[in-house]
Chain A
Amino acid sequence: MTVELARTAAALAPDIVRLSGVRFAWPGRSAFVLEVDTFTLSARERVLLIGPSGSGKSTFLSLLCGIVAPQSGRTEILGSDLTGLGAAARDAFRAEHFGIIFQMFNLLPYGSVIDNVLLPLSFAPGRRRRATAGASASQEAQRLLARLGLEPNLVRGRSAANLSVGQQQRVAAARALIGAPEIVVADEPTSALDRDRQQAFLELLFAETSAAGAALIMVSHDQSLAPRFDRVVPLADIATASHQGPSYVGPSDQ
């Protein structure tokens, strides 16, 4: 599918993420406040979110995934209003429907490659069911790793700390994709890579998210990646980050 066709298809697909009138300040921290006017993400859509450092991209992702809850506004994911859920319910929701890739991959260095990939399944029975529909969870993890270019015999028994940067990135992607979550969130996953590796990794990521039928929202500073995405969203267009007085203390996100 070409980028243009994909963009058309995404435009026709229903919204699976809808944020409106969201306002958030970190509890106990005075300065930073993020206000999101409107943001939507369609099923299978690939969105590149760009913005300078400190603009609130990570806070935005934390809101999107339900790690924190806004003080006001509405965060609707897959038809569920996250703002109406308690912290535990949001955690369970995130485990089921989100796969997350961090900037530094954030693998547990002492854990084995397979354990790192299987970790989300411990908190997401639905994803576990999907992952084990055709084979065992471990086999599914090995299949994903193989598809991402990591042969099982290369990683079997190895801890994540012993992998190269490129290998760690693939493991992080496998962890985000296992159990086919509907939304994959990637927080600057290519920033540590050179141009060739960036391209190769994005190819793999796009192929796997497409195969899983997942939407992808990726944060980056790098605007050169824009042509590969269905839509590019500068954070400044959808949200306002401001610094309030030191006395502001937001309510608990619980």
Chain B
Amino acid sequence: MIVLRLALQSLFNRWVTAALTITTIAASVVLLLGVEEVRTGARQSFADTISGTDLIVGARSGGLNLLLYSVFRIGNATNNVTWTSYQDIAFRPEVAWIVPLSLGDSHHGFRVLGTTGDYFTHYKYRQSQGLTFAAGGPFTDLFDAVIGSDVAASLGYKLGDSVVISHGLGSVSFLEHDDKPFRVAGILEKTGTPVDRTVHVGLAAIEAIHVDWQSGARVPGQLVSAEEVRRMDLAPKAITAALVGLKSKLAAFRLQRAINEYRSEPLSAILPGAALQELWGLVGTAETALKVVSAMVVATALLGMLTMILSTLNERRREMAILRSVGARARTVLGLLAAEAGVLTATGVALGLVLLYAALFLARPYVDAVYGLHLPIAPLKPDAWATLGVIVLGGCAAGLLPALRAYRLSLADGMTVRT
């Protein structure tokens, strides 16, 4: 016990370098596990964004592009789907439900989605969880808007507030549909998906605000008021994409093939899960690169510890000579130094875990609000524990080099320190 106590006191005696070493190891552990947590969180967030949708239909393009713009509001559609084709698909016997999506406009940088009331019934996220309203409800009027929770929070909107939609995308727009303002009819509960950052309006409303527009600009001298437009036929001519639910999952491939071979119009149908896998395959290389960088940071931290122990070894030769003189075996000296490296690494790992969870706790609301990533705060998975175990073992192994040197020095020094 006395030997261990003295070894710890020796470590405390060098507390500045020891603290720096521990901090370096802790920072590397935070980075290594943080990258993994963010990666897992991002994957989970993406995977959780859509659930219960069997097919997504859009204009002919890459499956990944279709998934990104229709579900994640990332990027734009290459083309539209005609309303005729949409109806053709909607009336197919395999289809249980279909929800049209019309994208292209925005409001203070938030995407505007034209859809139907079915969207609020059929859109599911995070293992078949449905959308719920924090206030109000779905559209009842042509110019009703349902906003996501982030839209409401960041713009300070409440029920009844006016919303003017901008033509096109971007946070600043000079082309606004200010003659036909919308009214906030509903505010959705937080979902942790792009829905939170979306302004939902009726599909007919999208047609309504564009009746006096052509080629991205207002037609001069052809102003149609909000009241006049209510009396017009607002059947859409085209949509951006559609979410499809099937009566039987078994029909998914058959319908997908039928849509991909659709003769009247070049269309694409994708299985969301398959497209996500394609996405993971695409980002897998970047993830691997991140992991490699993190592992290198850990290795650098362990090398720093090795340097610290080696640099203090000379001044500790007297300490080792004392231990040897009172009967400590050379192996005890070796063990003490290896144990010191182990204690430093284990403390660094423990501190890293504390810092990681503190950082996750503090950063979660910000990351959720700004990036839409829902970072889970959950116990470490077995492979993360295994990684930490490898780090501690690596630390002990790194400590063996100075320990072996100390062993040799303690044999060579005998009773006198020879420098």
Chain A positions near chain B (C-beta within 8 angstroms) = 26-29, 58-59, 61-62, 65, 67-68, 87-88, 91-92, 94-96, 100, 102, 104, 106-111, 115, 118-124, 175, 187, 253-254
Contact = CB atoms under 8 A, between A and B. Distances in A.
Contacts of B416: 58, 62, 187
Nearest to B327: A95
Interface residues of B, number: 27
B327 to A, nearest CB: 2
Contacts of A254: 411
Contacts of A28: 412
B13 A115 contact: no
B414 A62 contact: yes
A123 B332 CA distance: 10
Contacts of B13: 109-110
B6 A119 contact: yes
A123 B412 CA distance: 21
Given A28-B412, A58-B414, A100-B415, A110 B10 contact: yes
A29 B329 CA distance: 22
Contacts of A108: 6, 9-10, 319, 322
Given A115-B5, A122-B2, A88 B415 contact: no
Contact of A120 (B12, B318, B327): B327
A167 to B, nearest CB: 17
A121 B6 CA distance: 14
B327 A92 contact: yes
Contacts of B319: 108
Given A119-B2, A119-B323, A175-B326, 14 more contacts: A27-B412, A58-B416, A61-B414, A62-B414, A65-B325, A68-B411, A91-B330, A94-B325, A111-B6, A111-B9, A115-B6, A118-B2, A187-B416, A253-B411
Given A106-B318, A109-B13, A124-B327, A58 B6 contact: no
Contacts of B318: 104, 106
Interface of B: 1-3, 5-6, 9-10, 12-13, 318-319, 321-331, 411-412, 414-416
Contacts of A68: 411, 414
A61 B9 contact: no
Listed from nearest, the 7 A-B pairs whose CB atoms lie closest are A95-B327, A123-B327, A62-B414, A110-B13, A120-B326, A58-B416, A110-B9
Contact of A67 (B3, B6, B9, B415): B415
A88 B324 CA distance: 11
A100 B325 contact: yes
A101 B86 CA distance: 96
Q: Which of B2, B3, B12, B414 is the most central at the interface, judged by chain A CB atoms within 10 Å of its CB?
A: B2
Contacts of A62: 414-416
B327 A94 contact: yes
B415 A187 contact: yes
B2 A58 contact: no
A87 B415 contact: no
Q: Which of B1, B3, B9 is the most central at the interface, judged by chain A CB atoms within 10 Å of its CB?
A: B9
A107 B325 CA distance: 11
Contact of B325 (A92, A102, A104, A121): A102
Given A58-B416, A110-B9, A119-B3, A91 B327 contact: yes
A213 to B, nearest CB: 20
